[in-house]
Structure 1
């Protein structure tokens, strides 16, 4: 069964970003549980920002799961990426993400690498940058495998990275690596910009998809833009996807209504008998 999740950001520097709930961990978890979400996706300043025992208590109290943990604060706060020309910075990036993998793995949740993949820097050969990305992802995927979780890699749109922008290119890249513990994140907002057909791409890369970010064309909650969700939902059923569709969307018009709209959309497309025809 495809599961629902909603994002909670605890990073003040990311206040303008596409996350539904903000600042108060227990309030966000409580509201998510009350609305019927299966999980929450967390964005924290670092792996040690939340005491694991506290998070465990809250997840158990509200009978909800940890869907994934984001690593974007590593770039936003610390300026770290896996493709920085400075090898010391790349090492710090790997350490930051490794700590996040360890944190998430306590709850069987994978870490997501999005913005921390970085960019091809001015004056650096593109091939060299991809070598750094491959080295970093391979090392992190191997560590994640030892912890019992996959590593989630997210292709971003052209305005956020000049590395990999489509799921097809992302699939080709990770399949050339030695590890098989990397899964792709299908972010519907990024895909709306970059893909010729979102449903066709989902069917094409199929088993490589490990997480879905559930947002509309304008990055508002699903149902507030023009993305055609029925065909996307059908494609996810066709590839037998059973992971999360997680609302990484702007909290528009406010967090509570954004969460309510998301769970309405989830129920419409993923929990009704008419949600797929296969």
Structure 2
């Protein structure tokens, strides 16, 4: 499994679970110096930086782009694909598709997290499914998957558990949609995180490697060894991405993440 660290450029996410927040050149250099394989980008939008500049920074520091977040659409504009307003749903989808195109040029999948919104009426699930289909098709055109993240009950009432989201994907034939297993959200919703990972199996396309308190793994009470064992059993080939609070400070959080992944990988 490969390592990644979150790199945030969205001012509205100042209190969010993102480790590196400095300007892009410095953040890329820091990620490389700390020993990560890739960065996960959380950007204000697709026009914040050119694809060529990101490619140049990635090549300079021998880093891959693990994934592209879309949450700025919610944080900055209050957009979601389940909004009762057709106009706002359209704007949300347009934003997500633009991020899919941005990430696709980098060979990276886009993530649907907070922009999924919530179920507010009988039509919400239809809007959600329609949005997923459109995003799946757009990602497929770039030969990358689209990644959907179940969130905890305090953030959405759509899907909170991996098994329910996996069943929805299968039932609706969403072949190019994979799941993001965020261990922080799972610590709230799953009775057994390792078992949930094993059951979701082939549907898992990305992992947010966070402890139960959303700090670096090892600073809470999640059984990291069981998580790694489950991911090995299902043959997960992707990233363990540190989407975590930068506590007690960004460097300590980053070094703790790398340290525990290396420790568990060697055992």
**Same fold, TM-score > 0.5, yes or no:** yes
CA contact (8 A) 1:111 1:152 kept: yes
Q: For each residue in 1:158-203, what CA deviation from the matched residue of structure 2 results, as whole angstroms up to 9, or x when unmatched?
A: 0111111000111011112233000000000000000011111111
Distance apart, 1:120 and its partner CA: 1.7
2 CA distance for matches of 1:102 and 1:268? Answer: 36
Distance apart, 1:83 and its partner CA: 0.1
| Corresponding residue for residue 107 of structure 1 | 106
Structure 2 unmatched ranges of 5 or more? none
CA contact (8 A) 1:138 1:178 kept: no
The equivalences for 1:188-207 within 5 A come to 188-207=183-202
| Corresponding residue for residue 156 of structure 1 | 151
| Corresponding residue for residue 115 of structure 2 | 116
2 CA distance for matches of 1:151 and 1:111? Answer: 6
| Corresponding residue for residue 14 of structure 1 | 13
The alignment yields a C-alpha RMSD, in angstroms, of 0.8
2 CA distance for matches of 1:100 and 1:23? Answer: 21
Describe the SS at the equivalent of 2:205.
Answer: strand
2:142 to 147, 156, 179: 147
Q: Say whether residues 1:77 and 2:76 are aligned partners.
A: yes
| Corresponding residue for residue 59 of structure 2 | 60
Distance apart, 1:155 and its partner CA: 0.1
| Corresponding residue for residue 39 of structure 2 | 40
| Corresponding residue for residue 233 of structure 1 | 228
CA contact (8 A) 1:12 1:23 kept: no
Q: For each residue in 1:44-65, what CA deviation from the matched residue of structure 2 results, as whole angstroms up to 9, or x when unmatched?
A: 0001111111111110100000
Runs of 4+ deviating beyond 2 Å: none
Structure 1 unmatched ranges of 5 or more? none
1:219 to 191, 214, 217: 214
Describe the SS at the equivalent of 2:172.
Answer: coil
2 CA distance for matches of 1:106 and 1:267? Answer: 30
Distance apart, 1:246 and its partner CA: 0.1
Describe the SS at the equivalent of 1:32.
Answer: helix
